[in-house]
Amino acid sequence: MEQVLLLLIFLPLVAALITAFTGNAAKHVAMVFALASLAITAAIACQFTPDASKQFVVNLPWIQSLGINFHAGIDGISLITVLLTNVLVPIIILASYQSDYKKPASFFALILFMQAGLLVVFTAMDAFLFYIGWEAALIPIYFICAIWGGKDRVRVNMKFFVYTIGGSLFMLLGIIYLYLQNPAHNFDIQAFYQLSLDPAQQGWIFWSFFIAFAIKMPVFPFHTWQPDTYTEAPAGGTMLLSGIMLKMGIYGVIRWLLPIVPAGVQDWGTTAIVLSVIGIVYASLIAFTQKNAKRLVAYSSIAHVGLISAGIFALNTQGMQGAMIQMLSHGINVVGLFFVLDIISSRLKTNTISELGGIAKVAPKLAIAFLIIVLGTVALPGTNGFIGEFLLLMGVYQFNIWAVVFAGLTIIFGAVYMLRMYQHVMLGKTNELTIGFEDIRGTETLVLVIICALIIVLGVYPKPILHLSEASVQQLLEQVNQKLTSVK
């Protein structure tokens, strides 16, 4: 059974190498491999027993003299992110079917390469392996965004790259420090959990990890790379960045930050929540004023992630479970939003809100799908966004009432700017530009149907997902609390 996880991780890597040489048939080849990964993930999810244990564990010696092992496994928290990755990658590949990328083979190969990196991040139980996956996921997305991106792509992506790699280098510093503190001299996550570090050490390790994760998510004030990068990236790149990559940061906080340095979290968690809440309000306010729909969604993403981050640092079951389900929902919704905007901009060559309008009249199918996605994003009850945001707000409420007042504003703000955007883009009178708008067809319909179905199914019946992660989340929180009491 252990081999399944190896297969899961290495299949995309092999797939990337094969896809790179398939020329114009690349999208089909990539699709086949992505579906194969999805099938393996489905098999893993079926075999998975929803308790707190690590399953499908592989532990192979890698660089023995340095205490580095290829140690990976899946628990409930990992499974959710693995599911997210392997569900979204085929959707993103399918969504790129109509786009006319130059050198498609490289494009799809890079997506698959990134998938491998992401899967390593989400399953690693060895800090060094985690770091390798963390960087390995960054290189392909940098090239995707910088080769196929918009006009200003070079400058914007240089900023993105240096920003994120700067963050991760300081995380590496923290990892090395933990390794040196570990008497067993390895990078095993369990050994890291057991370390007893004094609060001062925990404080700076907290920051060395938190900055890396905060840049990835991004949390205010580390977000400045994000809107430009999202706007300039090609549609596929934006979906990868917003749908999957930012979850690396969230996952990192849950898996590595909280259990390893709980005292650091206790000392600085409030700061993190305050930053998250500031980010929520700030990003929502800026989203209001955006003229470009893609930028608006980018800022809304900062607001949503801020809420997830606040929910995690509240350190209770509701917040954490809310974060788990919201990671999945946000991934699906944001990919849907960016896909719709890509459909619009590929036909009309613009995403400027004021130039659009009345598309619903000429493209009713798109209008319905877009509406469902927007409603999912603004967390209408019955959609996937609702349950996550509800749990998150409940979690933050238990932490502090004022935090929840401000965080709760996102729901209202979000509803206002999202619906306003929908109104200006889809409703109203058609103008000369939008009159000839062609409704969705072929693969576009397929993608949107899948996304809408996921939004509704998860909204109506989120229990299976919550059930998957529940035991792991419980155990994680107990572990954190236990460690905190033992420090006292």
Partner 1 sequence: MNIIITIVVTALAVLYAGLFKATKALLPLTLVGLLVALGFCVTAWDTNTIYYGMMQMNNFAIAFSSLLILGTAFIFLLTENYFAKDSENVAEYYTLILFALSGGVMMVSYTNLSMLFIGLEIMSVSSYILAGIRKNNFASNEASLKYFLMGAFSTGFLLFGITLIYGATGSFSLGAINSYLVGNYKMVSPLFYPGVILMMIGMCFKVGAAPFHFWTPDVYEGSPSLITTFMSTVVKTAAFAAFIRIFAGTFAPLHDFWMPPLMVIVCLTLFIGNVTALFQKNFKRMLAYSSISHVGYLLFSLITLTSTSNNNVLLYTAAYTFASITAFAVLILVKQKTGGDDFESFNGLGKRNPLAALALTVAMLSLAGIPLTGGFMGKYLMFLNVMNQYQIYLVAFAILNALVGFYYYLRVVVAMYFKEGADVLLETPVQYKVVLILSVIITVILGVYPSVILNLI
Q: Which residues bind partner 1 (CB under 8 A)?
A: 62-66, 131-132, 135-136, 139, 143, 146-147, 153-154, 158, 161-162, 165-166, 169-170, 172-173, 176-177, 179-180
CB of 130 vs partner 1, minimal distance in Å: 11
- Judged by beta carbon, residue 139 or residue 471, the one nearer partner 1 is 139
- Judged by beta carbon, residue 147 or residue 404, the one nearer partner 1 is 147
Q: Is the peptide bond before 221 cis (omega within 30 degrees of 0)?
A: yes
Q: Kindly tell me the sign of the dihedral angle through the C-alpha atoms of 307, 313, 315, 317.
A: positive
- Judged by beta carbon, residue 24 or residue 65, the one nearer partner 1 is 65
CB of 353 vs partner 1, minimal distance in Å: 29
Gap between the Cα atoms of 180 and 185, Å rounded: 6
CB of 97 vs partner 1, minimal distance in Å: 24
CB of 160 vs partner 1, minimal distance in Å: 11
**Helices 127-148/153-181 angle, 10° precision:** 180
CB of 166 vs partner 1, minimal distance in Å: 5
CB of 20 vs partner 1, minimal distance in Å: 10
3-class state of residue 127 by DSSP: helix
Residue 150: both structure tokens together: 């918009």
CB of 388 vs partner 1, minimal distance in Å: 33
3-class state of residue 300 by DSSP: helix
CB of 253 vs partner 1, minimal distance in Å: 21
- Judged by beta carbon, residue 167 or residue 269, the one nearer partner 1 is 167
Phi first, then psi: give them for residue 485, nearest 5 degrees.
-65, -35
Gap between the Cα atoms of 206 and 236, Å rounded: 33
Give the closest residue to 244 by CA, choosing from 310, 330, 161, 158: 330
- Judged by beta carbon, residue 205 or residue 287, the one nearer partner 1 is 205
In the chain the first and final C-alpha atoms are separated, in Å, by: 42
CB of 222 vs partner 1, minimal distance in Å: 15
Supply angle C-alpha 160, 139, 307, rounded to 5. Answer: 50
- Judged by beta carbon, residue 201 or residue 474, the one nearer partner 1 is 201
- Judged by beta carbon, residue 35 or residue 176, the one nearer partner 1 is 176
- Judged by beta carbon, residue 204 or residue 406, the one nearer partner 1 is 204
Residue 126: both structure tokens together: 């060895």
DSSP bridge partners of 188: 126
Q: Find all residues with CB under 8 Å of 211, minimum gap 6, and list them.
A: 167, 170, 171, 222
- Judged by beta carbon, residue 151 or residue 488, the one nearer partner 1 is 151
CB of 128 vs partner 1, minimal distance in Å: 9
Residue 481: both structure tokens together: 């609390």
- Judged by beta carbon, residue 27 or residue 153, the one nearer partner 1 is 153
- Judged by beta carbon, residue 171 or residue 369, the one nearer partner 1 is 171
What helix, strand, coil percent values describe the chain, rounded to 5? 80, 5, 20
Buried-exposed string 55-85: b where 16+ CB fall within 10 A, e elsewhere: bbbbeeebeeeebbbbbbbbbbbbbbbbbbb
- Judged by beta carbon, residue 141 or residue 147, the one nearer partner 1 is 147
The rounded radius of gyration (Å) of the Cα atoms in the chain is 21
Q: Are 456 and 383 in contact (CB under 8 A)?
A: yes
CB of 63 vs partner 1, minimal distance in Å: 5
Gap between the Cα atoms of 42 and 37, Å rounded: 9
CB of 177 vs partner 1, minimal distance in Å: 6
Q: What are the strands, taking DSSP E only, across 37-92?
A: 55-63, 68-74
Give a three-class secondary structure readout of 405-465. Answer: HHHHHHHHHHHHHHHHHHHHHHCCCCCCCCCCCCCCCCHHHHHHHHHHHHHHHHHHCCHHH
